[in-house]
């Protein structure tokens, strides 16, 4: 096909590759921002979990004040686990933005 005088398709592919590299870089950047935004949704879940933990602490303390210390230790454990999940989501978002 090259000897018969047909146009050389290699140069067209190279030119297209150059043009799509800027487009693919923009698509990669947009995907990075979308992924980081989706990863930060977990922080809202962490906030809701912390609210639920301390709301349950108040309800439990109102029902049985003698269990104050045990309920508080469970609430701190629930707070720590919920906050850790939120921080992991935030860490993943920063990894997506700055490490990829």
Asked if the structure places residue 92 within a domain, the reply is: yes
- Domain extent for 74: 9-98
For residue 70, tell me if it sits in a domain.
Answer: yes
Whether 3 is covered by a domain: the verdict is no
* Domain-embedded: residue 50: yes
Concatenated DSSP letters of 16-51:
HHHHHHHHHHHHHHHHHHHHHHHHTHHHHHHHHHHH
Please report whether residue 55 resides in a domain: yes
Single pTM value for the model: 0.67
Number of domains in the chain: 1
Q: What is the CATH number of the domain that holds 64?
A: 1.20.20.10
pLDDT digits (tens, 9 = 90+) for 48-99: 999 999 999 999 999 999 999 999 999 999 999 999 999 999 999 999 999 9
């Amino acid at each position: 096909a090259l000897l018969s005088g047909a146009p050389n398709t290699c140069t067209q592919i190279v030119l297209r590759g150059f043009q799509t590299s800027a487009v693919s870089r923009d698509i990669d950047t947009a995907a990075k921002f979308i992924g980081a935004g989706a990863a930060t949704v977990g922080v809202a879940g962490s906030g809701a979990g912390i609210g639920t933990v301390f709301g349950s602490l108040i309800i439990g303390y109102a029902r049985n004040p003698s269990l104050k210390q045990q309920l508080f230790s469970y609430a701190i454990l629930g707070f720590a686990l919920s906050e850790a999940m939120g921080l992991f989501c935030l860490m993943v978002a920063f990894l997506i933005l700055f490490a990829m």
